[in-house]
Structure 1
Amino acid sequence: MKSSSKPPAGDGGDSLRTVVIAFVANLGVAIAKTFAAVFTGSASMVAEAAHSWADTGNEIFLLVANRRGARGPDDRRPLGYGRETYFWSTLAAIGLFVAGAAVSVWHGITSLLAGESSSENYLVAYVVLAIAFLLEGVSFLQSVRQIRGEAAQYDKDFLDYALETSDPTLRAVFAEDSAALIGIVIAGAGIGLHQLTGSAAFDAIGSILVGVLLGIVAFVLIDRNRRFLTGEPGSRALWNAVVQRIEQLPEVASVRFVRIEFVGPKQIYVVASVDLVGDFAESRIAHTLRRLERELETNRAVVDAVLTVAEPDEGDIGDVNAVAQQP
């Protein structure tokens, strides 16, 4: 396998900026919510504080993921270190589940069973939730801008791209910020119903609902990272684009087999078998294939390409007419 010194593909700077903004916003929100939770005793506010501290810790994991995954190929890792991004992002998602979801549900259930009643400092809770909504909104809009720009570049639907993108840090920030905004609304509703009815059960139920929401988000993020860690092959459109690119090489008569695997954010490994145009001397075949591989690798998204001559009885993949896209 060849080793390359080219940098990994993708807009690493945009993702890093998105994560940093999310970290700063979540840290400020976590401090404010903790103050409000102590001051009001609200179960929903405790859940929201746990949620924000979990998000803050997660952003640290995402920063590590962004940094370690950005390293290019070397002799020890010919395909680069992109998969580390998925590993550290998975740890962030597990942290969201344990520190956010589990704590919120547990506190809500214990408050519900104990019949605990929070203090009547409702104004403090509302002010903090409003500030948190604004700060989370800033981070959310940054992730939305990045997703919208990349989705338009690849001609994808916004939500489809948010779920399918090979960039786990971008997906994590968008999902966590979306959950944060919904969680703030749930917490506000729980506190409001407590104020209107005098029953602390609504506050406790709000805490449980926030925890369930975080659990769902964490599960989705873990599952997506699992798929990329275990060899995500990419979409049909990406496969079509790679086949088209190989068919455009003048020495290639036809493409018999193509295998694509993500090895990092916007980084793919390509294996293909082809028929070559004309008759090549055996001594020239290897040289020609290596040259074609290098030509494919001029695309920054292609970390490594391996081409072989197809066997005579190998099937034909057929004609491809899809519009070329980048991963």
Structure 2
Amino acid sequence: MTDNSENNRPGPSEDRKTRLTVLVALAANLLIAVAKAVGGLFAGSPALLSEAAHSVADSLNEVFLLAALRRSRKPADRRHPFGYGKERFFWSLLAAVGIFVMGGCFSFFQGFEALTQGGGEESRTGYVAGLAVLGVALLAEGSSLARALHQVRAQPGEGIGADPALRTVVAEDGTAVIGVLLAAGGMVAHMVTGDIVWEAAASLTIGLLLVYVAFSLGRSARDQLIGEAADPELHRGIRELLTSQPEIDYLAALHTMRLGLHSTLVAARVDLVPGIDSERLELVSERIKRAVRERWPEADQVFLDVVEAPRRVRDERPA
């Protein structure tokens, strides 16, 4: 049996690009988190403090994603014969939980506290400092988002949904840019009207946005962890290839499951034409599996189960 463990893992060059994208996002978020926290405490801004929590959550999530990139490349072993490709899905799920707990919940807390206790900036210096921090944050987050989107555009065949690490970075940076704009809008409205309800509303809106993003990322990671089927186009292509084989009389079932970013399990139940002996059966099976792997390299784990077609199918066959 051919060892396909290397196919379980993304190419080194692709991983290096994604790792660099995550590192850029991590550096930006660490710098911004400190600036937002200092600016938020100085200005007494709940919206800015919510954004600081958001950046801290994003920084922790980038650490999760770096762990995912490293661990998902481990080769298959006895305990994990299909490799560690699903490590990316697991750490992406943890990143989604981090966005919800550290970002969303803290933003809600800041918003409700501002509504119930009031308070806010006491001088225009605080407003200016807070807005200056948000301006720097917008530039940093925008640069990180541009880097991630550039990598997405460089992968036209896969898109944003292929790599959970890249998808999480794009979602985080996109949410961060929107959050900065919301926080800035709340601070400006607060400065103009003198009513902190605007900043509280901005903080609550940021919280809702983070919860939505966390839910979307978490649902995707959950589907991949519990066993998500391959792309419908891939499934359809494999079905067509199998049914076109002269030795296959009937395709009883075809199941696919993503094992990692570049690894897919294919399991098919087939009924072969009569008259194939055991020796030829092995040769036919290996040829069909090789044909699937050569046409779709990501379908690296292919299993064929020879079964007898149901009676109704046998009765419908032409004489």
Q: Does 1:311 align with 2:308?
A: yes
Q: Does 1:110 align with 2:113?
A: yes
Residue identity opposite 1:178 in structure 2? G
- Provide the C-alpha distance between the structure 2 equivalents of 1:54 and 1:315, rounded to a whole number of angstroms: 58
* Contact kept? 1:3, 1:79, Cα under 8 Å: no
CA separation of 1:111/1:276 partners in 2, compared to 1, >3 Å: closer, same or farther?
same
Match of 2:133 in 1: 128
Q: Does 1:137 align with 2:147?
A: no
CA separation of 1:314/1:302 partners in 2, compared to 1, >3 Å: closer, same or farther?
farther
Q: Does 1:285 align with 2:289?
A: no
Local SS of the residue matching 1:230: helix
Residue pairs, 1:92-103, within 5 angstroms: 92-103=95-106
Q: Does 1:153 align with 2:146?
A: no
Q: State the shift of 1:71 in Å.
A: 2.1
Match of 1:77 in 2: 80
* Contact kept? 2:9, 2:72, Cα under 8 Å: no
Q: TM-score with structure 2 length normalisation?
A: 0.87
Aligned with 2:227 (options 231, 234, 255)? 231
- Structure 1's unaligned 5+ residue stretches are 155-160, 317-327
Q: State the shift of 1:30 in Å.
A: 1.1
Q: Deviations over 1:237-269 (max 9, x none)?
A: 221122244456675566442111011123211
- Provide the C-alpha distance between the structure 2 equivalents of 1:70 and 1:166, rounded to a whole number of angstroms: 16
Q: TM-score with structure 1 length normalisation?
A: 0.85
Greater CA drift, 128-137 or 183-192: 128-137
Match of 1:321 in 2: none
Q: Deviations over 1:53-91 (max 9, x none)?
A: 100001001111111112232332121111121111111
Identity %: 34
Local SS of the residue matching 1:305: strand
How many matched pairs?
307
Q: State the shift of 1:277 in Å.
A: 6.5
Q: Deviations over 1:96-153 (max 9, x none)?
A: 1111000111111012100122243111111111111111111111221222332x32
Residue pairs, 1:164-183, within 5 angstroms: 165-183=161-179
- Provide the C-alpha distance between the structure 1 equivalents of 2:78 and 2:149, rounded to a whole number of angstroms: 37
* Contact kept? 1:122, 1:195, Cα under 8 Å: yes
Greater CA drift, 134-143 or 249-258: 249-258
* Contact kept? 1:4, 1:73, Cα under 8 Å: no
* Contact kept? 1:8, 1:71, Cα under 8 Å: no
Greater CA drift, 212-221 or 30-39: 30-39
Q: Deviations over 1:149-205 (max 9, x none)?
A: 32x325xxxxxx53xx24211111111111101100100000000010011121122
- Provide the C-alpha distance between the structure 2 equivalents of 1:285 and 1:23, rounded to a whole number of angstroms: 54
- Structure 2's unaligned 5+ residue stretches are 314-319
* Contact kept? 1:166, 1:264, Cα under 8 Å: no
* Contact kept? 1:167, 1:266, Cα under 8 Å: no
Match of 2:317 in 1: none
Residue pairs, 1:178-327, within 5 angstroms: 178-246=174-242, 255-276=251-272, 279-298=275-294, 299-313=296-310
CA separation of 1:147/1:279 partners in 2, compared to 1, >3 Å: closer, same or farther?
farther
- Provide the C-alpha distance between the structure 1 equivalents of 2:246 and 2:263, rounded to a whole number of angstroms: 25
Local SS of the residue matching 1:153: coil
Local SS of the residue matching 2:304: strand
- Provide the C-alpha distance between the structure 1 equivalents of 2:183 and 2:33, rounded to a whole number of angstroms: 14
